[in-house]
Amino acid sequence: MTPKIALVTGASRGLGAAIAEALAPAYHVVAVARTIGALEELDDRIKAKGGEATLAPMDITLPDAMAQLCRAIHDRWGRVDLWVHAAVHAAPLTPAPYMDIKDWDKSIAVNVQATGLLIPYVAPLLGDTGTAMFFDDPRAGAPFFGAYGATKAAQVALARSWASETVKTGPRVLVVEPRPMPTATRARFFPGEDRKPLTPPRDEALRLLALL
């Protein structure tokens, strides 16, 4: 029996890794990220649960790599049942006039351009019965969140447009807002924060997957 296929972009750490692990063994997980070591650790955890994963150490901003990945998925399985897009570049907090141009360019490339690239590639694999999940983080306009807030808002706006376009035809497109979690990204934004009240990524992954 062909397993359900889950594509997780940004699967090496944080919520993306937690969701990828939580999907096993119900799904065969195609885990995409640039950090090979973290992907291998994820693979070990998935195997320990009796699941299987295909590791794809790739840069989602490279069109040829993403085209190759989606073609490989099509040739092997013919579809994707679930796409979880957790990849994000969290630029350092800084006043808008002092944004580093390299961080601004990377924020656009990862948060906006890659999303616009992947949706046309993944949509045919999802067909009319698959599900795509995106994560909102409504910090647009907040002090010092210029690069991250603006590009994350653009990513979510694109996902919401896709969601409104596919209500009657599919695929199902979900935009959800995760609870605050003690991730490395949040630690960069809020150094010194008391992390005890925050929701562990594994718990949040289970809550969000229950929405499916």
Inter-residue contact 201 to 17 (CB < 8 Å): yes
> What is the model's pLDDT at position 17?
98
pLDDT at position 2 over 90: no
Please report whether residue 84 resides in a domain. Answer: yes
> What is the model's pLDDT at position 1?
63
pLDDT band at 3 (very low <50, low <70, confident <90, very high): confident
The pair of structure tokens assigned to 117 is 């690239």
pLDDT at position 147 over 80: yes
For 189, the domain range is: 4-205
Please report whether residue 59 resides in a domain. Answer: yes
The pair of structure tokens assigned to 9 is 């972009």
**Using CA atoms, how far apart are residues 11 and 90, in angstroms rounded to an integer?**
15
User: Which DSSP state fits 81?
Assistant: S
Please report whether residue 212 resides in a domain. Answer: no
Q: What does the pLDDT average to over 190-212? A: 96
Average pLDDT along the chain:
97
Strand partners, 174: 133
What is the side-by-side strand order in the sheet with 131-135?
Answer: 53-57, 27-33, 4-9, 82-85, 131-135, 172-176
Inter-residue contact 126 to 77 (CB < 8 Å): no
Indicate the number of domains in the chain: 1
Please report whether residue 67 resides in a domain. Answer: yes
Inter-residue contact 50 to 24 (CB < 8 Å): yes
pLDDT at position 203 over 80: yes
Please report whether residue 160 resides in a domain. Answer: yes
Contacts (Cβ under 8 Å, ≥6 apart) of 182: 195, 198, 200, 201
pLDDT at position 7 over 70: yes
**Using CA atoms, how far apart are residues 68 and 84, in angstroms rounded to an integer?**
18
Taking each helix axis as running N to C, give the angle between helix 146-165 and helix 114-126, from 0 to 180 degrees, rounded to the nearest 10.
30
Please report whether residue 183 resides in a domain. Answer: yes
Q: What does the pLDDT average to over 136-161? A: 97
Percent of the chain with pLDDT over 90: 97
pLDDT tens, position by position, 82-123: 999 999 999 999 999 999 999 999 999 999 999 999 999 999
What's the CATH number where 26 sits? 3.40.50.720
Please report whether residue 210 resides in a domain. Answer: no
> What is the model's pLDDT at position 92?
94
**Using CA atoms, how far apart are residues 13 and 190, in angstroms rounded to an integer?**
18
